[in-house]
Amino acid sequence: MHLYEAHLPVSDLDQSINFYREILGWRLGYENRERNIAFLLSNDEPETMIGLWGPGSLYGTMSKHHVAFWMELDELLVNFQSMKQEGFAVHGFSGETEEPSVIGWMPTAQFYFDDLDGHSVEFIARVQGESDPSFLGPLSDWMVRL
């Protein structure tokens, strides 16, 4: 299952549109400047949308949110390097990291970063191996176990 829709209040609609288009590769689906809103669509999953609500819009009050995007592991690894190259502080469970973390009970690999308004964004992918609720650590440690 992939994300269908999430809505985030943003401090600057233009900056946020640029971030989701240029950095994350989404495409603009709809924009209404009178309402100060925009909706972006995933290039990979046409049913997946993120709504951006600028200042003065119905949901434009600033509060921080979390959104997660599901992808394949190879895409996660490419995105991990890309976000670091773009200068984003990429982190796992214990702060900044040099590789994605693994949650063993799922089992999934993921990493986190903040968007331009401080919302927590997570990229997550399924990894091989049997569920292990006791494992919480770096991807390289998980892969050694296989």
What length does the chain have?
146
25 vs 144: CA distance, rounded Å: 32
Task: Report the predicted TM-score, pTM, of the whole model to 2 decimal places.
Answer: 0.76
CATH code of the domain occupying 1-63? 3.10.180.10
- pLDDT per position as a tens digit, 109-136: 999 999 998 888 989 999 999 999 899 9
- What tokens appear for 81 in the block? 């390097």
Domain ranges of the chain: 1-63, 64-146
pLDDT reported for residue 16: 96
Q: At which residue do the structure tokens 């799922």 appear?
A: 106
Interval 41-55 mean pLDDT:
82
> HEC profile for 24-37?
CCCEEEEEECCCCE
- pLDDT per position as a tens digit, 82-107: 999 999 999 987 789 999 999 998 89
CATH code of the domain occupying 64-146? 3.10.180.10
